[in-house]
Amino acid sequence: MLEYAWIIPAIPVLSFVVILFFGKKMPKGGSEIGIFAVGTSFMLACITAVQWFQRVENASGKSGGAALSAFGKGLFARAGEGGVIVQPVVSTVRWFQMGGVTVSIGTRIDGLAVMMLFVVTLISLLVHIYSTAYLHDDVRFTYYYAALSLFTASMLTLVVASNTLQLLVGWELVGLCSFMLIGHWWEEQANTNAALKAFLTTRTGDVGLMIGVIITFFAANQSFDIGKVNASALAGLNGHTIWLVGASCLLIGIIGKSGQFPLHTWLPDAMAGPTPVSALIHAATMVVAGVYLGARVYGVFWQGFSIHSGGLNAMAIVGGITILIGAALAFVQDDIKKVLAYSTISQLGYMVMALGVGSWVGAVFHLFTHAFFKALLFLGAGSVAHSGSHHSFDMKKDMGGLRKYMPVTFITFMIGSIALAGIFPLAGFWSKDEILATAGQNGFELFTVVGLIGALMTAAYMTRCVYLTFFGEYRGHHHPKESPKAITIPLIVLAGFSVIAGFANASLFDIEKFKQYIEPTVAFPKNIFGVDFDIGLAALSVGIALTAIGIAAAFWIERKELKGLKGLTERSSVLKAGHTFLVNKYYLDYLYTDVIVGGIKGPIARASYWVNMNIIDGVINGVGKGATVIGRVVYRDIDQLVVDGAVNGIARETDQAGGLLRPLQSGRVQRYALMLFAAVGLIALALAIFG
Amino acid sequence: MILNQFLILAAILFCIGVYGVLARRNGVLVLMSVELMLNAVNINLIAFSAYLRSSAGDVFALFVITIAAAEVGVGLAIVLLIYRNLHSPDLDRVEQLKG
């Protein structure tokens, strides 16, 4: 299967064609073809992964055995015995030949590729199933499934690509498909605009990628092959400067595709598409393509940005800024999908920063875990909108109190939020900690601090989001109910993965599957940073996250209550008198009760009442208000004024230039013909005089 | 071999064709003018072919005739559709692509 991996993207391509031509005639509008095709791809991806594990096992000189037992054995073995070389499986055919340069097309299967194949096909399969219910009566149901198949196929092509040119083809196809799907409901002008914005913004970054591919082609002595590019970069072929320029251009491509500052503005607008599409775009395809590119040609970045020497570099700085900007913006959104969109931006910032600080394993691992819990959160938000708030995503107007009506959605959404916030032992904790520890142990202390601040903000805005959606009183005007099985089952599967995915590389327990199976051993930085599990840092990050949840819960819950009751401390002292009150106030977050109330009940309550009223409240309100103010300032002054201003300015200039040229575009064929003949005449005249 | 006369004839035909394409408003007449231009080119090709005693020009002329036939087929279909939609073959009225 490792040699025949091209079948995996080929199946969805086939299903795209079949759905397009025969989908309307099928009893379920083509959805069954899509699900079957992606399901088959998923099975093949699993087989490929198992065979890759076997290959690594064999290379390490261990007894091969059955794949599963090898995997089980590996689960408890200490990873990274060192010095073992596992060649990636590259199989290619000649694509075209041009002036002595042969460009091939094919597959390059290694740990990174099998990991991505698994994630992409799994998430895509779940999204396919989910969509049968979510888009049940859609006017373009068949068309939607065709586009979804093509989307999956494009991403898989990108993942298995054996050379940068093929990667570029997949990259552009992914952009095209996301354009089609974001603008799925094109009858509304806003959706069309969002699709165009997404397409054009990512195109801006694509120019950088294209130039980067060309530069690396020449820098690697005329080769597009990924292995050769990486090896040449690490050897510093043709000098350091060319790799610096190449890496900078590729970074622009990553910034455009992965929603990094300052090209992140398209991502929140891309929420105009159907929610399952948002989940697919944000978790498994499209935006992670950028991070994948970074991990794929990591040698170029390692050499170009001199990551081994520590200190500051463009990649880490871009990632760091994105973490903070994205998280700050998430505070001021009322649309649940926009909160998640900004959260994705922030999390992608972690991945790019991780690549920038030399934490390759951390970046790829975070991509892996993030895919599960972000897909879960988006599908959860979709479930809420589908069955709870009547297709509205406004948390303040149409949600609240859905905990009672939608228990499955609530529990899975909570799991996703906790995983995202990085609480032990869920998925997000392990990957985030891997990044922070690597940064801290290799001379990037500044970025560890940025990461910790990001963790604080992440936990706080997710608390707000969960509170507004699921706690309090129902504020909508419909009859919320639990979603159908086609929606809840993908949620449950993803919640399961969100819990266990982190243990794939839980360095605390000496499980380092990613280091062992995923990290390349060929054409990869020899002196890539190792990392030791830092229990102090881990405790610190979890502590920070919990504090943030506590503060945020206190702040937002209290603010809701200010109208009727006197405040947080008032409720606490009443709580001392009777537990029944708490039962009535069922919406109090249990964390809130543990962290805040737990400390002040009993005899201390009366004594600390004054302190509570005047100091703790002040601090809590201050922190809460501060976060909101910072978020607003960032949103208004940086995002809206500077970034949007620059974009709008360019658009205005283009518009004026176009206005000058408008008369030429008369629409009359004969005018055009006249211009044509006049131009030919002028050229002939010029030739007659000067030739 | 008198090459000049053929070339002058071709040039005159071509100029008439250009005038027709630019000045006539009737779509059918514009198409006919295009045909004139193509035939002017054909005359040039055959004249040079005979002058240089090579058959390459004749072959090219044959190709041009074939393509011209196809082009008229498509062109007339377009004119027919214009007539059907605007009730007139007047090309000046087809300006929906005005910027």
DSSP for A183-198 reads TTTTTSHHHHHHHHHH
Q: What is the pLDDT of residue A389?
A: 67
Structural Rg of chain A based on CA atoms: 27
* Interface contact B28, partner A, CB < 8 A: no
Cβ A673–B91 below 8 Å, yes or no?
A: no
pLDDT of A469 reads 81
Tokens 């196929």, residue located: A153
Identify the pLDDT of residue B49.
92
Provide the pLDDT confidence category of residue A609 given band limits of 50, 70 and 90: low
Helix/strand/coil for A311: coil
Confidence of residue A605 (pLDDT cuts 50, 70, 90): low
Average pLDDT over residues A458-473: 81
Mean pLDDT computed over B55-66? 92
Gap between the Cα atoms of A276 and A258, Å rounded: 18
How far apart CA A465 and CA A460 sit, in angstroms, is: 9
Whether residue B18 is contained in a domain is answered as no
Identify the domain containing residue B85 by its residue range. 25-89
A662/B contact by beta carbon, under 8 A? yes
Average pLDDT over residues A558-580: 43
Q: Judge whether B83 lies within some domain.
A: yes
Asked whether the predicted pLDDT for residue A206 surpasses 60, the reply is yes
What's the pLDDT band for A683 if we cut at 50, 70, 90?
Answer: very high
Strand, coil or helix: what is A679? helix
Using CA atoms, how far residue A10 sits from A24, A37, A47, A290, A679, in Å, is: 22, 10, 16, 22, 48
Q: Give dist(CA A549, CA A557) in Å, integer.
A: 11
Residue A279 has pLDDT above 90, yes or no: no
Amino acid at B99: G
Q: Tell me which chain B residues have a C-beta less than 8 angstroms from the C-beta of A664.
A: 99
B96 touching A (Cβ < 8 Å): yes
Task: Tell me the whole-structure pTM to 2 decimals.
Answer: 0.70
- Per the structure, the count of domains in chain B is 1
Check residue A564 and give its pLDDT. 41
Q: Is residue B97 part of a domain?
A: no
For residue A540, pLDDT beyond 60: yes
Query: In the prediction, which pLDDT does A69 show?
Result: 44
The verdict on residue B65 lying in a domain is: yes
pLDDT of residue A202: 85
Q: How do residues A369-385 score in pLDDT, each as one tens digit?
A: 898 888 999 888 888 88
pLDDT score, position A65: 42
* Interchain contact A657–B (C-beta under 8 A): no
Round to whole Å and give the CA distance between A432 and A438.
Answer: 10
Is residue B45 domain-resident?
Answer: yes
Quickly tell me which residue has 């920038």 as its tokens.
A356
For chain B, positions 52-91, list CB contacts with chain A under 8 A. 91
Q: In chain B, what residues touch A663 (CB-CB under 8 Å)?
A: 99
Interface residue A678 vs chain B (CB under 8 A): no
| DSSP strand pairing (A101-109 vs A89-98) | antiparallel
Q: Is the model more confident about A72 or about A25?
A: A25
Note whether A668 contacts B21, CB cutoff 8 Å.
Answer: no
pLDDT of residue A608: 53
Q: B97, A674: Cβ pair inside 8 Å?
A: no
Q: How far apart are CA A282 and CA A340, in angstroms?
A: 9
**Residues A150, A173: contact at Cβ < 8 Å?**
yes
Are the beta carbons of B99 and A677 separated by less than 8 Å? Answer: no
How many Å lie between the alpha carbon of B59 and the closest alpha carbon of chain A? 26
Amino acid A613: pLDDT: 61
Query: Which runs of consecutive H residues, i.e. helices, occur in A284-392?
Result: 287-296, 298-304, 314-330, 336-356, 360-383
Inside any domain, residue B17: no
To test the contact with chain B by mutation, choose from A654, A669, A674 the residue with the greatest count of B C-beta atoms within 10 A, namely A669
Q: Mind telling me how many Å the CA of A666 is from chain B's nearest CA?
A: 5
Mean pLDDT, chain B, integer: 90
Residue of chain A whose Cα is closest to the Cα of B25:
A670
Q: Which of A305, A269, A57 is nearest to A183 (CA)?
A: A269
Given CB atoms, is A666 within the 8 Å cutoff of chain B?
Answer: yes
Report the pLDDT value the prediction gives residue B30, as an integer from 0 to 100. Answer: 92
